Homo-oligomer: A and B are copies of this chain.
Amino acid sequence: MKTITRKEEIVTIASQLFKEKGYNAVSMRDIAQAMGIKAASLYNHISGKQQILSTLILTVAVEFTNGMQTVVAKDIRPIDKIREIIELHIDITVNHSEALAALNNDWMHLENNDLSSFVQMREDYEENFRRIVKEGIEAGELKQHHPEVILFSILSTLRTLYLWYQKRGKLDVNVLKKDMVSVLLNGIT
């Protein structure tokens, strides 16, 4: 049985507030009020505001990193790897849409080790993706576009999916995956 700790509760509440206004516009008093307690009481469970942010962001960043590793290791065609990466993004978006807001918009407010390991994970992720795109082009599975343009157009769509999912009435995940793969790979014309 999975019991939620008070710390996890704080991180969850905070992530919802961060999504609305961003890390710096949300005070410890705001978070406390949303939980029905006083700001000082938060410190019984967490070490500070920074820890909330880093827990939130690094948890999801690790999930992306592991997901990408799994895809890279598979012995399948580049284009099928891209398909799986799209599905990975959708799965994470569905499960952590609030955390993704912080990851996208507030990562630069991480400090020290947390900041540098996040940046490292992000660079590695992009580099893995870039390599797959290049392989796909060389194998003739993708058009001869500049790899960077392909990488960017897919990645920016996937990264902002969290903004758009949920206001579209929680449509079925499998339908969403099929549509996104089709649009991103085959285009719209």
Contacts and interface: CB of A to CB of B under 8 A. Distances in A.
Given A24-B22, A108-B21, A157-B152, A142 B184 contact: no
A179 interface: yes
Each complex incorporates copies of this chain amounting to: 2
A109 B26 CA distance: 12
Given A156-B160, A187-B185, A188-B185, A149 B21 contact: no
A168 B148 contact: yes
Range class of the A interface residue count: 35 or more
B21 A189 contact: no
A3 to B, nearest CB: 34
Contacts of A188: 142-143, 145, 150, 153-154, 184-185, 187
Given A22-B24, A159-B160, A187-B187, 18 more contacts: A20-B108, A22-B105, A22-B106, A24-B25, A25-B109, A105-B105, A141-B189, A143-B187, A145-B182, A145-B183, A149-B180, A153-B188, A154-B188, A156-B157, A156-B161, A156-B163, A184-B188, A186-B189
